[in-house]
Amino acid sequence: MEYFDGVLLYIFDRFKGERSLSAVYHLLTGKKSSQTIQDGKLFKVGSFFGILKKLKRSKLEQHVFALLEAQLIQPNQHEGYQITSGGKDALSAFLVTKPIPNYLAGWQYHQVSELFWQRLSLFMQSLSYSIHGNMNFYPISKDEAIQNWVKKHFPVKKEKRVLLAEELFQEIRSHLQKLPDPHASFFIMRLSGEGRTGLTVHQLADVHKISYEEAMICFQGVIHGLLFQVQHNAAQYPILASMIEGTSGQLPLTLSTKQTYKLLEDGMTIEEIAHTRRLKRSTIEDHLVEIAINVPEFSISPFVDPKAQLEIKLASKEINSQRLKLIKDYMNDQYSYFEIRLTLCKEGI
Amino acid sequence: MSLSDLLYQHFGYREFRYGQEEIITDVLNNKDVFAMLPTGAGKSLCYQLPLYAGISPILIVSPLVSLMEDQVQQLKAQGEKRVIALNGFLDFEKRKGILKDLSTFSFIYVSPEILQNKYVYQALKKLDVGLMVIDEAHCISQWGHDFRTDYLKLGAIREAFGRPPLLALTATATEDVRRDILRQLNMSDPAIHVHSVDRPNIAIKLDKFPSLETKIEAVKEYALELKGPGIIYFSSRSWADKLAKALSREGRNCASYHAGMEQEDRLLIQQQFLNDELSIICSTNAFGMGINKSNIRFVIHFHPPSTIESYLQEIGRAGRDQLPSIAIHLHTEEDEFLPLSFIDSELPKEHEVKEVLLDFVGREGSAYSNHHLEREGDRFGYTETAWRYLLHQLEGLGVIKERVIQSFDVDMNLARILTAIERHRKAKLIKWFRFKSWLEEKQCRRKGLLERFGEPNHIIEPCCDYCGLNLQEYKGSRDQINVSDQRAFDWEAELKRLLTVSKEDHGEESTG
């Protein structure tokens, strides 16, 4: 079984057969739709959000076909796939040898990780060349915003550069030391500087004789782990922390949802927002779900009565399902889909 | 200051390469200049050095965004900051800012398409352009190997800019193409510098195979034995990927490169190759344009290019350091269909043209923004080249005027367009057959190539497989590339090496 098959089994297991193959695809490629965001939250698979942005649908289908052939999963009536008992065994075995990095956090960091990596790799490259007395190199990033950022933060004086390089070395080392050795090597091999150009993820996979997906997830995991440290211990990692400046405090909301959130904070009701923004009520409801998922301090009580919240949670437990339709039926249509959805999303932290 | 002093001061070379000095002298004498220099002869220096002799600003029309960006990076790396590239990839706000300060730049690179933009055009018109350079000038000719319709408008644009002196540069242009360039650009009494297309340090070998399988075996063998670095050209991305994988599996330090890859990966591969960390690139023809790597030892064609000019341009990436290098063409009979289907994909088909005409005829009077019109091809399922071609025809026939659809007769225009398409298809076929016939000849390979450019043969040793070649001289040990053992990788030591200065290192002299 390939690494990617293990990841798929993990996701199918979490989805409990309640979500379709498209949901898996959107999750891995990081589609910013309320449904995908909600899936990530409800089924606790948000860490995989957008970690294989370039995944081709045909590739996913090939792997699913192989899993079906091997009878590790089976299709069900919801257009989803249920993991079989054989699949459960295979998944446990997989997780023993290849545990999912616990610092993988796709949803949290999908917006900053690319920017962070680009700034860091160009900064490293420039610093490395410059302290070795060579400023004649081709920058590893052509993105002008990235280049300008590096220019702005690059010390003018040589002595300062040497010092900064030493500090950056300490910061990166102290974090990587906490990781398994192969993961630390992965990260360093991707970096460019004097005397060596970084490897692409494909090359990294070839060198280590692993699949592209495994290499990519591993690499992303290291970046996410770094970001977590930097966010929570900024004082310990001042240089790395500076690389996410201008992004911190940003909520990972889609643009349209941000606008809705602002109007909510201004005291508007759902109806009023729908009217002002000329959007359907259901769209605004989607936005609310997204806010509930991403903004911890956001209270859903104005929209769902606290008593109703308790009952919905209980019902979900009793029938052991996150499927809105099943819960709604079970509760004799006492609550709307919106109320159930909002409650489950707030709950599933 | 003399030209050679300027050369040393700004570019660090002691001597001009063959032909450069004469061209620059004519440029400095305000002449219109046509120059054909083989790939790797240092064409860009011919328009860069005049800046330091007092000519400014210099406007360079360049057909490829990647080529433009490479030039800009190179100039910046040489310490020239007053350089800018204007192309469709700049966002609107940024472009506005640049146009406002355009007079502060000395080298302005533009794509022919962006010159059609009203604001860019107006801003440039206000400048007193000191020299207008048309790079890859063969693009202006219908008979050139990569004809670009917007190049045709350059003659008129030059007039509008107050007729600055013009320098037209190309690496490969046959006699008819050269005449076409002079005429289209309306060059007056031009100084013409035509240098041989021959690259004497590149040996030429032609291999024929009965089947695809035998050819694959051969390319593997060459890749393992030949002294690198080298490039292997393929007609498609999937072939480049496939062979790169196969060669890597056999232990060769190899990667693929094509336009389907992500930008970050492309940059990494390019740099690994430039820094001799990678010995072979398996590529589509997207690779090589503007790549300044002097020590490429071999170029292999796994698939044929569609013209002899492309062939010369591609093999010309070998041996820029003037050391012995080799170009090997691997041929099987089935390859002959590839250029044919490529030619067909570049030109619109009858039902496609008809569909567009029927759509447009009902929209008489509707206006387009430049941008919109260029995108509309997607709606009809056109390839980019085919759509550009059709637009050019429609403008020529007056169906579209100033981006507004006019009233027109469908049948008459359809017939005219189809005639034009047929003529172009034939022209392209003729070009392909010219290359194909070279593959079939029984004579000195070099002689065959030069004949097609109206040049006499030179006697060169070693020359080609027909004249006799000792392949042994191009073989090498496989360990010349410094690949560190990745399994014993010590990340901590490597991180330390990257970021700390050892005692022997004295670091950079100056700062800032």
Whether B153 and B116 have beta carbons less than 8 Å apart is answered as: yes
Q: Residues B360, B420: one domain?
A: yes
Place of tokens 């001289």: B473
Q: Residues B184, B290: one domain?
A: no
| Run of H or E including A48 | none
Helix A21-29 to helix A57-69 angle (10° resolution) is 130
Range of the domain at B287: 199-512
| The predicted structure's pLDDT at residue B507 | 45
- Cβ within 8 Å, pair A184-B499: no
Which residue among B130, B164, B194 closes a domain? B194
CA distance B237 to B408: 41
Q: Is the pLDDT of residue A127 over 90?
A: yes
Q: How many structural domains compose chain B?
A: 2
Q: Residues B120, B230: one domain?
A: no
- Cβ within 8 Å, pair B267-A138: yes
Place of tokens 């998922």: A293
CA distance A23 to A174: 38
Buried b (16+ CB within 10 A) or exposed e, A82-113: bbbeebeebbeebeeebeebebbbbbbbbbbb
Q: Is the pLDDT of residue A337 over 60?
A: yes
Weakest mean pLDDT among A112-126, B186-200, B261-275, B369-383? B369-383
Closest CA to A200 of A189, A208, A213: A189
Q: Residues B273, B130: one domain?
A: no
* pLDDT tens digit sequence for B69-124: 778 888 887 788 899 998 766 777 788 888 888 999 999 999 888 888 888 999 99
Confidence of residue B257 (pLDDT cuts 50, 70, 90): very high
Please report the domains of chain A, with CATH numbers, ordered by start residue: 3-100 (1.10.10.10), 113-242 (no CATH), 257-347 (no CATH)
Q: Tell me B464's DSSP state.
A: B
Average pLDDT for residues B459-476, to the nearest whole number?
Answer: 89
Weakest mean pLDDT among B134-148, B414-428, B438-452? B134-148
Q: Residues B118, B224: one domain?
A: no
Confidence of residue B485 (pLDDT cuts 50, 70, 90): low
- Cβ within 8 Å, pair B268-A189: no
Q: Residues B174, B204: one domain?
A: no
- Cβ within 8 Å, pair B489-A202: no
Cβ-Cβ contacts under 8 Å for A290 (sequence gap 6 or more): A34, A37, A38, A253, A254, A257
Confidence of residue B362 (pLDDT cuts 50, 70, 90): confident
Determine whether B348 is exposed, middle or buried from the number of CB atoms within 10 Å of its CB (0-12, 13-18, 19+): buried
User: Residue A109 has which token pair?
Assistant: 């960091």
- On chain B, the residues whose CB falls within 8 A of the CB of A191 are 495, 498
Please, how many CA atoms are within 13 Å of residue A164, restricted to the half-sphere of its CB?
A: 20
Which residue among B194, B221, B246 closes a domain? B194
Q: How far is B236 from chain A (nearest CA, A)?
A: 19
CATH number, domain with residue B136 = 3.40.50.300
User: Dihedrals φ, ψ of B53, to 5°?
Assistant: -95, 10
Q: Is the pLDDT of residue B487 over 60?
A: no
Q: How far is B347 from chain A (nearest CA, A)?
A: 30
Q: Residues B166, B287: one domain?
A: no
Please state whether A211 falls in left (phi above 0), alpha (psi between -120 and 50) or beta: beta
In one-letter notation, the amino acid at residue B214 is T
- On chain A, the residues whose CB falls within 8 A of the CB of B73 are 138-139
Q: Is the pLDDT of residue B336 over 90?
A: no
Residue B362: CB atoms within 10 Å? 8
| Run of H or E including B192 | strand B191-194
Q: Is the pLDDT of residue A144 over 50?
A: yes
Determine whether A311 is exposed, middle or buried from the number of CB atoms within 10 Å of its CB (0-12, 13-18, 19+): middle
Residue A165 has its nearest CB partner, among B489, B500, B511, at B500
- Cβ within 8 Å, pair B498-A134: no
Q: Give the β-pairing of B298-301 and B230-233.
A: parallel
Confidence of residue B512 (pLDDT cuts 50, 70, 90): very low
- Cβ within 8 Å, pair A162-B501: yes
Confidence of residue B321 (pLDDT cuts 50, 70, 90): confident
Q: Is the pLDDT of residue B7 over 60?
A: yes
* pLDDT tens digit sequence for B277-312: 999 999 987 666 556 788 999 999 999 998 888 899
Strand order in the sheet with B107-110: B83-86, B107-110, B58-61, B131-134, B166-170, B33-36, B191-194
CA distance A21 to B351: 38
Measured CB to CB, residues of chain B less than 8 Å from chain A are: 69, 73, 77, 248, 255, 262-265, 267-272, 274-275, 277, 484, 486, 489, 491-492, 494-501, 505-509, 511-512
Task: Write down the mean pLDDT value for chain A.
Answer: 88
Residue from A129, A167, A202 whose CB has the most chain B CBs within 10 Å, to mutate? A202
Average pLDDT for residues B415-438, to the nearest whole number?
Answer: 89
CA distance B183 to B168: 12
Whether B6 and B53 have beta carbons less than 8 Å apart is answered as: yes
Average pLDDT for residues B2-30, to the nearest whole number?
Answer: 90
Q: How far is B63 from chain A (nearest CA, A)?
A: 19
* pLDDT tens digit sequence for A72-118: 999 987 788 999 999 999 999 999 999 888 889 998 888 789 899 99
Q: Residues B56, B152: one domain?
A: yes
Q: Residues B275, B404: one domain?
A: yes
Q: Residues B402, B498: one domain?
A: yes
Write down the ipTM of this complex. 0.78
User: Dihedrals φ, ψ of B33, to 5°?
Assistant: -125, 135
Which residue among B194, B214, B238 closes a domain? B194
Determine whether B138 is exposed, middle or buried from the number of CB atoms within 10 Å of its CB (0-12, 13-18, 19+): buried
- Cβ within 8 Å, pair B494-A198: no
Q: How far is B284 from chain A (nearest CA, A)?
A: 18
- Cβ within 8 Å, pair A196-B491: no
Q: Residues B92, B48: one domain?
A: yes
- On chain B, the residues whose CB falls within 8 A of the CB of A156 are 511-512
Q: Residues B222, B312: one domain?
A: yes
